[in-house]
């Protein structure tokens, strides 16, 4: 889609001539760049002619792709104003930058927080709906490499801050940071119990906009600033995780990138590793096993000698998930063994971070079961799933539902249709109590696996029980 300007876009025409790019050549370059980001674009030379001669402005990510395509040919960045597209929607690039400068990092994060609210006000998914399908695992390459090279900024002190309601500079203290940490703790509990789509979880982006953004733009010492960046990174990662759980992959990616940048400003290497591990889980979930391995290994390497044994166990477990998705059984097995070893070396008195409170042997067993599911080893899936389900808890409802689905798949692959349907019914019951697109997708996958047995009454009953869940609006 395009909207019309007044008159020809002479700037775009001049820069195309300078770069020596034909209309057909630009269209091809834009389509190719779009494909690299998961977009299906079908621009041709006629599209470009309209942009130049009639001043039509393409929507979505296209203006930024045009600038990138021309910039590649010229060998330098091309800003939108140089090609007459300065008034194009900036949204497609918001949140994807990983600035080297701390002040720019604050700007990048706070712009993302404000964009999310604008999207919610627009309705029907807002800006995130317009970006649907724009997840690109390659967008994680620069953030991961920059974090590996420099995992901490030298100083984050900021003076002066913006004015608060009284007209005085907003001075940030430890009490302000503590409020953000308490909000993150509450959000983690809400997310685990009710799912990322629950109304309580949806308050996290609002907290970032209303509470975190003004503090980040305020005035603080280096000590307070480190704590502030750390708390903001936790909340931002949570916003990304909740977006991931509700199927908004493009929003999640942007939150994760900003969370990693904030963790670097906090000089919190374990937290940065946790964000990278979350990125790895998303990449793995999307089918990019090799990239998931890279991200998990980045988390591990920077944390050797820094993170606690329990933290290292989790990072190694995430790496195992990625190896399994990539089909490397040997590497997955080695990573699982190492993760279990780290977990056995952990002690209750260790100084584990608060954000790792969810991780226990139950969680290890649950993820190990998913590894073996991907590797098509049902006996191992059943063994670990039994351990994962041995202590069901109301605190981690979504996790319990996912484990039930994995158990059902294992029973099915072992030839136990009755047991598979029984576990499937339990999973559907749990899924109906939470708001999690990811859990619904697991149930959908189970039903797909059961299609060859569609005439069986037990399968028909399960399908009927799942119908309200699958038909519910996203």
Enter the pTM of the model: 0.79
pLDDT at 323: 98
d(C-alpha 113, C-alpha 125), whole Å: 15
> CB within 8 A of 369, min separation 6: which ones?
380, 381, 384, 385, 388, 403, 406, 407, 410
Q: Examine the pLDDT at 46 and tell me if it is beyond 90.
A: yes
- Only one residue has tokens 């799942």, namely 466
Phi and psi at 376, nearest 5°, equal: 55, 50
- pLDDT confidence tier of residue 25, bands split at 50, 70 and 90: very high
Q: What is the pLDDT of residue 63?
A: 83
Q: Which of 48-52, 56-60, 126-130, 396-400 has the lowest mean pLDDT?
A: 126-130
Q: List Cα–Cα distances, 141 to 166, 280, 317, 432, 455, in angstroms.
A: 43, 12, 21, 37, 47
Architecture of domain 360-474: Alpha Horseshoe (1.25)
Q: Which two tokens stand for residue 50?
A: 């309209």
Mean pLDDT of 75-81: 78
Q: Is the CATH code 1.10.3470 the one for domain 2-93?
A: no
What pLDDT is recorded for position 94? 83
Tell me the C-alpha distance between 93 and 107, whole Å. 13
Neighbouring C-beta atoms of residue 28, cutoff 10 Å = 17
Write down the pLDDT at residue 61. Answer: 73
**Which distant-in-sequence residues (6+ apart) come within 8 Å of 266 by Cβ?**
156, 226, 227, 228, 229, 230, 233
Question: Would you give the DSSP letter of residue 456?
Answer: S
Reported confidence tier of residue 235, pLDDT bands at 50, 70, 90: very high
Is 198's pLDDT higher than 80?
no
pLDDT above 70 for 199: no
> Does residue 375 contact residue 332 with C-beta atoms inside 8 Å?
yes
pLDDT of residue 396: 81
Q: Tell which wins on pLDDT, 336 or 89.
A: 336
Query: How far apart (Å, rounded) are the C-alpha atoms in residues 372 and 375?
Result: 5
Task: Report the percent of the chain where pLDDT is more than 90.
Answer: 63
C-alpha to C-alpha distance for 174 and 257, rounded to whole angstroms: 25
Q: Which residues contact 395 (CB under 8 A, 6 or more apart)?
A: 189, 192, 193
In the chain, helix, strand, coil percent, each to 5?
Answer: 70, 5, 30
Is the pLDDT assigned to residue 365 strictly greater than 90?
A: yes
Contact call for residues 277 and 295 (beta carbons, < 8 A): yes
């Amino acid at each position: 889609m395009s909207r019309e300007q007044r008159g020809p876009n002479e700037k775009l025409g001049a820069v195309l001539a300078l770069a020596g790019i034909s209309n057909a050549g630009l269209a091809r370059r834009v389509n190719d760049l779009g494909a690299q980001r998961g977009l299906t674009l079908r621009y041709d030379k006629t599209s470009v002619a309209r942009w130049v001669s009639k001043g039509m402005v393409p929507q979505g990510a296209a203006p930024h792709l045009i600038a990138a395509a021309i910039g590649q040919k010229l060998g330098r960045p091309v800003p939108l104003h140089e090609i007459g597209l300065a008034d194009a929607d900036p949204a497609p690039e918001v949140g994807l930058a990983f600035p080297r400068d701390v002040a720019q990092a604050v700007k990048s994060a706070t712009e993302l927080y404000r964009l999310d609210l604008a999207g919610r006000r627009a309705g029907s998914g807002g800006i995130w709906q317009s970006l649907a399908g724009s997840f690109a695992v390659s967008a994680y390459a620069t953030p991961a490499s920059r974090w590996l090279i420099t995992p901490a900024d030298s100083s984050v002190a900021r003076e002066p801050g913006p004015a608060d309601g009284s007209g005085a500079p907003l001075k940030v203290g430890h009490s302000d940071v503590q409020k953000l940490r308490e909000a993150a703790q509450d959000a983690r509990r809400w997310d685990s119990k009710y799912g990322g789509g629950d109304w309580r979880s949806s308050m996290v982006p609002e907290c970032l906009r209303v509470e975190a953004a003004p503090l980040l733009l305020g005035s603080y010492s280096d000590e307070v600033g480190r704590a502030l960046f750390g708390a903001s990174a936790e909340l931002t990662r949570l916003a990304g995780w909740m977006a991931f759980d509700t199927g908004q992959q493009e929003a999640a990616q942007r939150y994760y990138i900003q969370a990693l940048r904030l963790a670097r400003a906090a000089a919190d290497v374990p937290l940065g590793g946790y964000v990278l591990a979350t990125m790895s889980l998303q990449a793995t979930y999307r089918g990019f096993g090799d990239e998931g391995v890279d991200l998990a290994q980045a988390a591990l390497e920077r944390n050797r000698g820094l993170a606690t044994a329990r933290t290292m166990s989790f990072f190694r477990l995430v790496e195992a998930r990625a190896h399994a998705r990539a089909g490397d059984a040997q590497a997955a097995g080695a990573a699982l063994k190492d993760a279990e070893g780290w977990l056995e070396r952990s002690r209750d008195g260790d100084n584990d971070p608060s954000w790792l409170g969810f991780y226990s042997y139950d969680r290890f067993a649950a993820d190990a079961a998913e590894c073996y599911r991907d590797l098509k080893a049902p006996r191992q899936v059943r063994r670990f799933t039994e351990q994962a389900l041995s202590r069901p808890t109301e605190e981690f409802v979504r996790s319990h539902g996912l484990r039930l689905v994995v158990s059902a798949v294992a029973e099915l692959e072992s030839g136990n249709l009755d047991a598979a349907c029984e576990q499937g019914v339990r999973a559907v019951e749990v899924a109906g109590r939470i708001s999690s697109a990811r859990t619904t997708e697991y149930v959908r996958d189970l039903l797909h696996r059961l299609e060859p047995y569609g005439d069986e009454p037990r399968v028909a009953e399960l399908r009927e029980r799942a119908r309200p869940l699958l038909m519910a609006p996203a």
